[in-house]
Structures are given as C-alpha cells and as structure tokens.
C-alpha cells in the first residue's frame, strides 16, 4: 500500500508532460488516437492500426501548411475545420475573383469573419496555384526515396523457443520489417514492404524467400483524365463505407467532423501488417465532375477474390455516387488460374448509393446499401452549424440482421453480420477563446447475437470532453465516458442470461511546454465496471503516467521518456494509452493487472540518415509469470527492444 501511495504522489506532482502543440495538425493526431482507443476498447477490434492511419499521422507530423488557393475538400473539413458552406463559398470566391493574394480577403467571403482570418493565417499559406505542367527533367529532379529497416525482439526467453518441447518455434525471436518508397511529385511511385514475425524462419526452411509477408504496388495519378491507376496492393474507400470501406474507422466519440467518411477511392499501399487488402489492379478516370473507378483482384488473408466499380457525379453543393462489389471464393489448394476464374462465379455481392448535399448551411449525407440476399443497410446524417460557436451533428443507422459486407466498415457499434439500429448525436461548443467542449450520445439496439451477447440487447454510450488552454503554454484536457450495455452473465456456464453492465471512464491530461526543448504530459485515467453478474460489485482500474520529451536541434537528437503505474482488478478493466514509437509504428499500449511500465525512445539524425532506438519494460507487481503457451515467460517482467534506421535520398 505504501508503494502505491508513493507512486501516486510522484506521478501527480511530477512535471506535466506533453506531446501536444497548438497546431491543428497535432490536434488531428490526438483525435485519431481517441478514436482508435475507443474502437479497441469498446468494439473488441485487434490492437493494431492500418497503414492508412500511419500515413495520416505522419502527414500531420510533417506539419505542412495547406495552400488556400489549392485546397482539397478533405483537408478543408478534417484538418482546417471549415464547414461545407465555408468551403463552398471559398471556392466560389476564387472562381469569381481569382486566386487569393492576401489573408485580408478572407473576411470578404461569406461565412468568414475576422476570427477565422486570424486562425487561418496561422495554419495555412496563400500561394499561387500551379500554372504549368512540369517537364520530364523537373519531375526526375523532384523524385524522392525513403528506405527504412526495423529490428525488434523480446529480450526474455519465451517458452516457444525451447526446442526440447514438441511444439516450438522454428525461427529466431527477431521481428524484422522493411519498406521502400519512391515517388515523383505524387504523379508516379512504387512501394514495397516486407515482414518477418518473431518465431518464423528467415531464408531457410519453409521461408526460403526471406520475409513471410511481402506487399507492394506501382501507381500513377493526376495525369489529365487518368486520376489514379495502381497495380499491386491497394485499398478502396467509397461512400460512407457501408458497401466498400476497407480502412475506415467509426469516428465514435471523436467530435462533429469525425462521423463523416471522406472516400478517397483507390489508394496504393505497401503494408507491413498482414491484414486484408486488395491485390490486383484498379483505376479511376474522370474530371472535376464525373469520375469512375474499376477494380479486380484477390483479397489477401482470405479465400476471396473481388471485382467491381464506382461511378460518381459532383457539383459544388451536391454529389452522388454508386458502388458495387462482387466476391468469388476458392479453395486453399487453388492455383493462380483458379483464383482468377473464381471472379466469374461470384458468391456474394454488395451495392450502395451515397450522396452529400449542402442545403443552406446544413450538410446532409448518407448511404443506402444492400447485400446479395436483399438485406439492407442505411445511414443518414446531418451536420448543422447552429451558431458560429456551436456545431452539432446527428446520425441514424440501420443494419438488417444478416447484412454482410466483408470489406465494408460503416459507422456502427457491433461488428460482423449482427443487426443494429442506432441514433448518434454529437456537438462542439466554443465556450471562450481558450475553452472548447465536445460531447456525444449514442443509443443503439443490437437486433441479433454479438460478441459476449447471446441475445438481442440495447445500450447507450455518452461522453463529454473539455479542452482548456492555460497561460504559459499549458493545456488541460478532461474527458468522461459512460456506457451501459447488456452482456452475458459471467457466472453461468451453460445458460447465458443477459445482465446490464455499466462502464465509466475518466481521463485527466495536463500538457505543458515549459522550455523550447522540453515538452511534458501527465495523465491519469480511471475506469469503473459493474456487472454483468448477480453480485453487481464494482471493478476498477487506474493508469497514471508521466512523459518527458526532449528535442535538441544541435545535435539533432530527441528523447522520449515514460514511466507508468497501473492497477486493475481484472483484464476487463484494462486501460489504453498512446505510446511514442519508432518511425511508421503507431502503438496504443494496453495496461492491465498491477505493475509499472517504462520506455525510452531515442532518435538521432545526421543529414539524410536517421536512427531510432526504443526499449520498453513492463514489470508486474502481482504476478510471477507472463503469458501462456508459446509466449510464456517464467518471470514477472517483459522487455522489448526496437532499432530502426532510415535513409532519405
């Protein structure tokens, strides 16, 4: 007990640590983290993140200011937080009077004022849009290449590496990854990546080809009417994700702007994660109003092939698109020819129609989709700017029982083919110059069986977040979330009665930038669960951590430190927190049982070469061993090491 109190005192009164700055790009990163944590915790999704999420965060970290004269719709809404009405008026102004020459023109645009002018002046630039097409040699001189190689390993010996066991790993404990990117002004590029998991063989045995997972693609885009073309691995996002949305997130709890999907269509990828994606070919043709896409290929990590397309029409205040996808199936023993022939015998289909329309200052958007058995899914939402300081959004969704969309990821609480009906409300309120508040409330009904729920059930999610900018580059962030949902009674082995479970989560975060080379952040998170059980007792969990981030320009060296203390009654009370990691690795750690975790991340850069070193150690205070099966460690601690090198040329 004394050790617990001492740890709490040290963490509460330590210097507050922050990786937060007041740039909107870093705000975007924080919103992404909140959204991902919510899905991991509430939707039981794997604790990993797609390559697209990593690219979003990396582009945000680069902190490039967008040009108002060459502003994409997605950047305007998601990064600059402009309403659809403001974006429409900005484009109308540029079309009527020509490109902007000064920020002082902004108040003359309908929907903008002096406050918007000052805010946009800090986070955007005004530059002439590109007027001519670059020559071949200009394109070649602007080419960029990035190569990184990563090594990781658990230091302690795991049971799977004991060769005296009948069941053991055949390879080394090293986890190896690499990726190479080449691009020419975003007009042409190719990517290749590979991964070897811990315990797998490398250039021997069953893995004579080296890495067990390879991914790559070649793409061209923005060449007159050819908007995009890719051969290799790619992802697809159309509409609101009901029919096709292979890399979208729920947006639940993230604010007004996060509930809407920005369908980027075809995207070339080279992943180091062994997840489902398309492997084949895809293209997009069109102009500013009309566009059409087609695709065909295999779905990796599955026994499915897929083909389909999309057609869309867009005006300034209205757009509509239709998309369809058909799936074929093949056996594990099928060769390449049989896999491609399965496209001609589709077994499953999804089709959808989506739209968005600007009515006055209100944005309406939604999608309707259907599966091959006639099972429908419908989503309808509205973004309403009630006042300059208050925005709200409402979303209604319905998924019929049995509706299946293998590569879809629409806004929903459950996963799989569980039927669902729900109403979601969220709002953003500017209380003062330095204080902002977000809130959300979601009522949902599950119409069929789902994870840990063996009967139809209902529930509610609600939360509120308050962000306060304080003097001296301080930021205080407070967030409270509440959830109630019926789940299986845990003390009945054979007959699962449903009992209501309540969950309360509280987060307090204090961020500061006391010195130009030092950022600090302190966070305390708590969770309280009750049920589902007859005794209805409360179970609790707490996580407290302290971060220090040092950044020196000469030499170009940075160092991130964290020490965390956690204490949860059960695994069900686990808590999540974002952790700094090496380049292109996004980590949300889970903390459960009782223990201490610390990590050190170093980065050194010299010219075009950068190297990272990360060591993390988790020490459990109430356990004598960790893991089970092949990952069993007969010690109460676990140490992980990563080394990564990157060269830009």
Question: Which pLDDT value is given to residue 394?
Answer: 95
Question: Which pLDDT value is given to residue 216?
Answer: 95
Question: Which pLDDT value is given to residue 150?
Answer: 96
> Which residues in the chain show pLDDT less than 50?
1-29, 42-48, 63
Q: Which of these, 206, 328, 194, 217, lies nearest to 272 by C-alpha position? A: 194
d(CA 297, CA 233): 9
Question: Which pLDDT value is given to residue 9?
Answer: 35
Coil/strand/helix, residue 300: coil
**Under 8 Å between Cβ of 536 and 490:** no
Q: What is the DSSP string of 603-620?
A: EEEETTEEEEEEEEEEEE
d(CA 597, CA 15): 18
Instruction: Output phi, psi for 316, to 5 deg.
Output: -65, -35
Coil/strand/helix, residue 219: strand
| 3-class secondary structure per residue, 397-461 | EEECCCCCCCCCCCCCCCCCCCCEEEEEEEEEEECCCCEEEEEEEEEEEECCCECCECCCEEEEE
- Kindly report, residue by residue over 42-93, the tens digit of the pLDDT: 444 444 455 555 665 555 555 467 888 888 776 777 677 777 678 878 888 8
Question: Which pLDDT value is given to residue 253?
Answer: 66
In the chain, % of residues over pLDDT 70: 84
**Under 8 Å between Cβ of 261 and 323:** no
Question: Which pLDDT value is given to residue 486?
Answer: 79
Question: Which pLDDT value is given to residue 29?
Answer: 47
Question: Which pLDDT value is given to residue 557?
Answer: 94
- Kindly report, residue by residue over 283-298, the tens digit of the pLDDT: 999 887 899 999 999 9
Question: Which pLDDT value is given to residue 600?
Answer: 97
Helix (H) or strand (E) holding 641: strand 637-648
| Cα 188–chain centre separation | 26
**Under 8 Å between Cβ of 269 and 52:** yes
Cross-strand bridge partners of residue 575: 591
**Under 8 Å between Cβ of 296 and 306:** yes
Furthest-apart CA pair in the chain: how many Å?
A: 78
Contacts of 507 (CB under 8 A, 6+ apart): 477, 478, 479, 480, 523, 524, 525, 526
Cross-strand bridge partners of residue 603: 558, 612
Cross-strand bridge partners of residue 611: 604, 645
d(CA 280, CA 265): 15
Question: Which pLDDT value is given to residue 23?
Answer: 34
**Under 8 Å between Cβ of 456 and 446:** yes
pTM: 0.84
How many Cβ atoms are within 10 Å of 109's Cβ, its own excluded?
Answer: 19
Question: Which pLDDT value is given to residue 78?
Answer: 64
d(CA 645, CA 649): 13
Question: Which pLDDT value is given to residue 238?
Answer: 92
Coil/strand/helix, residue 486: strand
d(CA 292, CA 552): 49
**Sign for the pseudo-dihedral over CA of 223, 225, 229, 235:** positive
Judging by DSSP bridges, how do beta strands 143-154 and 226-237 pair with one another? unpaired
d(CA 272, CA 215): 7
């Amino acid at each position: 007990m004394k050790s617990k109190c001492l740890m709490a005192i040290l963490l509460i009164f330590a210097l507050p640590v922050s990786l937060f700055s007041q740039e909107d790009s870093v705000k975007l990163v924080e919103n992404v983290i909140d959204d991902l944590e919510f899905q991991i915790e509430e939707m039981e999704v794997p604790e990993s993140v797609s390559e697209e999420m990593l690219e979003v965060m990396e582009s945000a970290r680069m902190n490039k200011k967008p040009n108002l004269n060459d502003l994409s719709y997605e950047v305007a809404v998601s990064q600059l937080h402009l309403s659809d009405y403001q974006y429409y008026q900005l484009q109308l102004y540029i079309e009527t009077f020509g490109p902007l020459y000064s920020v002082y023109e902004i108040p003359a645009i309908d929907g903008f004022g002096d406050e918007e002018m000052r805010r946009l002046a800090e986070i955007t630039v005004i530059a002439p849009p590109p007027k001519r097409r670059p020559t071949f040699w200009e394109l070649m001189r602007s080419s960029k290449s990035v190569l990184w190689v990563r090594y990781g390993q658990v230091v302690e010996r795991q049971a799977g590496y004991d060769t005296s066991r009948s069941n053991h790993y055949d390879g080394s404990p090293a986890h190896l990854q690499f990726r190479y990117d080449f691009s020419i002004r975003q007009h042409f590029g190719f990517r290749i990546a590979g991964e070897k998991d811990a315990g797998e063989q490398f250039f021997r045995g069953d893995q004579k080809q080296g890495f067990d997972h390879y991914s790559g693609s070649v793409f061209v885009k923005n060449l007159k009417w050819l908007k995009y073309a890719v051969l290799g691995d790619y992802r697809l996002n159309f509409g609101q994700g009901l029919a096709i949305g292979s890399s979208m997130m729920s947006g639940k709890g993230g604010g007004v702007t996060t509930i809407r999907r920005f369908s980027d269509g075809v995207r070339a990828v080279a992943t180091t994660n062994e997840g489902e994606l398309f492997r084949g070919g895809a293209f997009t043709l069109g102009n500013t109003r009309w566009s059409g896409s087609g695709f065909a290929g295999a779905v990796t990590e599955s026994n499915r092939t897929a083909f389909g397309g999309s057609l869309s029409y867009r005006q300034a205040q209205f757009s509509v698109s239709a998309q369809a996808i058909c799936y074929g199936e093949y056996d594990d023993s099928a060769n390449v020819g049989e896999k491609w022939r399965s496209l001609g015998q589709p077994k499953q289909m999804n089709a959808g129609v989506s739209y968005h329309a600007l009515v006055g200052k209100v944005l309406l958007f939604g999608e309707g989709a259907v599966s091959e058995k006639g099972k429908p899914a419908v989503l309808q939402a509205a973004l309403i700017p009630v006042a300059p300081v208050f925005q709200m959004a409402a979303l209604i969704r319905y998924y019929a029982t049995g509706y299946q969309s293998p590569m879809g990821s629409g806004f929903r609480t459950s996963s799989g083919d569980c039927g669902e009906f729900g109403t979601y409300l969220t709002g953003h309120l500017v209380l003062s110059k330095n204080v902002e508040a977000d809130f959300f409330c979601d009522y949902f009904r599950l119409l069929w069986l789902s994870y840990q729920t063996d009967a139809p059930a209902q529930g509610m999610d609600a939360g509120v977040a308050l962000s306060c900018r304080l003097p001296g580059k301080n930021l205080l962030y407070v967030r409270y979330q509440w959830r109630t949902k019926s789940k299986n009674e845990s003390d009945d082995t054979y007959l699962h009665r449903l009992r209501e479970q309540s969950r309360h989560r509280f987060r307090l975060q204090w961020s500061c930038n006391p010195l130009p080379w030092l950022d600090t952040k302190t966070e305390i998170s708590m969770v309280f669960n009750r049920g589902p059980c007859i005794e209805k007792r409360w179970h609790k969990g707490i996580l407290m951590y302290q971060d220090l981030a040092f950044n020196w320009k000469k030499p170009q060296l940075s160092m991130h430190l964290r020490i965390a203390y956690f204490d949860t009654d059960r695994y069900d009370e686990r808590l999540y927190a974002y952790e700094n990691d090496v380049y292109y690795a996004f980590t949300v750690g889970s903390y459960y049982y009782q223990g201490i975790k610390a990590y050190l991340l170093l980065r050194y850069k010299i010219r075009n070469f950068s190297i990272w070193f990360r060591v993390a150690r988790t020490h459990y205070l109430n356990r004598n061993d960790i893991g089970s099966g092949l990952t069993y460690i007969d010690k109460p601690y676990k140490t992980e090491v990563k080394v990564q090198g990157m060269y830009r040329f």
